[in-house]
Structure formats: structure tokens, C-alpha cells
Amino acid sequence: MSHFSLVTKGKLVEFSRPVVMGILNATPDSFYSASRLASELEVAHAAERMVLEGAGMLDLGAYSSRPGAADVPPEEELKRLETAVKAVRKAVGDDIPLSIDTFRSLVALKAVGEWGADIVNDISGGEADSGMFAAVAELRCPYVLMHMRGTPATMQTMTDYGDVTSEVVAWLSHRLRQLEELAVADIVVDPGFGFAKTTEQNYRMLAELRQFELLGRPLLAGMSRKSMITKVLGCDSGSGAALAATTALNVLALERGASILRVHDVEAASAAVEMFVKMENALHSEHT
């Protein structure tokens, strides 16, 4: 689904090609150390750079979801996000959709309802906070519905699937119906690469990514520098090899229908999208 649209703040935003979502981490402990932004100025500069490099969306988080990550109290998450959201908005204006990576309804209500964010990106798919779906319905904002089991601290002990792809699709379908019953209209689905999946299960989902088209929603793929790459290559998340492999997997995801690439390295992902679109256009013109 390369062509899709979202309504943010009552405004229709149309995407005629796959879009790159740049990751902004207002955290001291994200798994990829180079993505950690310690100050308001660093967040602003990173947002500006990502937009110049081709980001069509930004995703801002203040709670690390790496495996085994420590809990962050709600008040600390709110404190980190308030200054960061305002810094991003000041740096890049209102035209770039800004997503908030949180599983807490209170944080979503503040960030979208008061501080100027546009989208809620919930790694728990509404399971960590029973009030999240109602909050998103109240906000009338787009919602990224991701699959995960357990919490960041426990998820890698919860990887028992019969058929990982079909079970994740079924889970997302069930949650989609619950959101639709609350009149949440703009929903993006995310299979949750790396979240309660083994390395082999991640690659199985990627190979079968077309099955997620059954859900009829834009598909987000987030594999940037994750352990599904570093474990296979035996490298560090900050290495050039991890970036090269991320780019390769992003192209495979695009070929299998991904609409959004969530990445740390916007320039490389934007180049991948450009090459993919060029190929698709050439194929189309050949057949017309």
C-alpha cells in the first residue's frame, strides 16, 4: 500500500509513495547509542537533519523499549517528552507529522492533545494501558498498532508461536476491530519486528510480509539496526554493516508492501525508497 493518507489535526495528509519515519530518542538508554538525544537542542538539530534527508514523518520516544529495558515512571516520560515535542515543532514546523512512541494513554493525551504531536505509536497495541484505545478515539488521531507480547523486560521469553505470521496477523485483526468499533479511522499496522520474536521468526515475518495486506491498512516496518541484524552478522548496532543490512531489509520490506520505514538513518532509507520508486515507475511504464 504505497499510496495512503492520514488525517492529522483535521488535515488530510496524502502519501503517494512509501514514507521514511525518522527515529528521535529523548532517552539515555536506547539500544543504538548514537540515537540518544540528551538535550532540547540535540533533538531539534536531529529533527531538522532528518527532514532535510527526506523524512516524511518523525517518531519521538522517551521510553526505551529495547529488550530488558528498565521501567521509566510516567512523570519522567512526560517531562522528557514535553520539552522534546516543543523543540521538534519549533525546529521543523507543523507540516511534518510527529508521532509519539508511547504505550501510556496519559502521555498520548498530553502529547497530542496539548503539545502538538499528531500520531500515537503504541508498541503494546493497547495492551499495556487499557485506556489507550479510548484516548486515541477521543483525540481522533492516527494510531500505529504494533504487535508485542509481555513488556520490554519480558518479551523475549514469550516467543512460542505455531505460525508466527498468521498469529500476528490474527492478533492485529482482532485489535483493529476493537479500534474500529470506537470509530478510530486512521490506523497503521506494525508486525513488531524484534518484539517477542526470535531472529528466525523475524525473518519468517519479513518473507511473508504480504500477508499483512489482508488487514487493509498501511504497514510500518521497523527493523533499523535491530538484533535480528546484529546477531546474524555478529556486529554492533552502530556499525556500518548494521546500516547496510538495514537498508537491504528495508528494500525487501518495500517490495513486500511496506508503506512506512521506521529508521535511525534517514538518508540511507530515503535513497532506498528513491531506488524502489524508480524501479516501480520503470516497470509501470514498460507495461503501459
Is 262 catalytic? The answer is yes
Residue 32 has pLDDT above 50, yes or no: no
- The grid coordinates listed for 228 are 535480528
Percent of the chain exceeding pLDDT 90 equals 81
Which DSSP category does 101 fall into?
A: E
CA distances from 156 to 69, 139, 153 (A): 12, 32, 8
Task: Residue 269: count other Cβ atoms within 10 Å of its Cβ.
Answer: 28
- The grid coordinates listed for 268 are 540511507
Helix axes 105-113, 74-92, angle to 10 degrees: 30
Buried b (16+ CB within 10 A) or exposed e, 60-74: bbbbbbbbebeebee
pLDDT, residue 31, reads 46
Domain ranges of the chain: 4-286
Q: What is the Cα Rg of the chain in Å? A: 18
CATH 3.40.50.720 fits 4-286, yes or no: no
Task: Residue 47: count other Cβ atoms within 10 Å of its Cβ.
Answer: 25
pLDDT tens, residue by residue, 53-67: 999 999 999 887 666
- The grid coordinates listed for 12 are 488530510
**Catalytic site residue from 226, 231, 256, 278:** 226
pLDDT, residue 154, reads 86
- The grid coordinates listed for 208 are 511473508
With vertex at residue 135, the alpha carbon angle to CA 77 and CA 93, rounded to the nearest 5 degrees, is 65
Is 226 catalytic? The answer is yes
pLDDT tens, residue by residue, 121-146: 999 999 999 999 999 999 999 999 99
- The grid coordinates listed for 130 are 487499557
pLDDT tens, residue by residue, 66-118: 666 667 889 989 988 998 999 999 999 999 999 999 999 999 999 999 999 99
Q: State how far the Cα of 72 lies from the Cα of 37, in Å rounded to an integer.
A: 16
- The grid coordinates listed for 121 are 505509536
Residue range 241-255: average pLDDT? 98
With vertex at residue 245, the alpha carbon angle to CA 64 and CA 59, rounded to the nearest 5 degrees, is 35
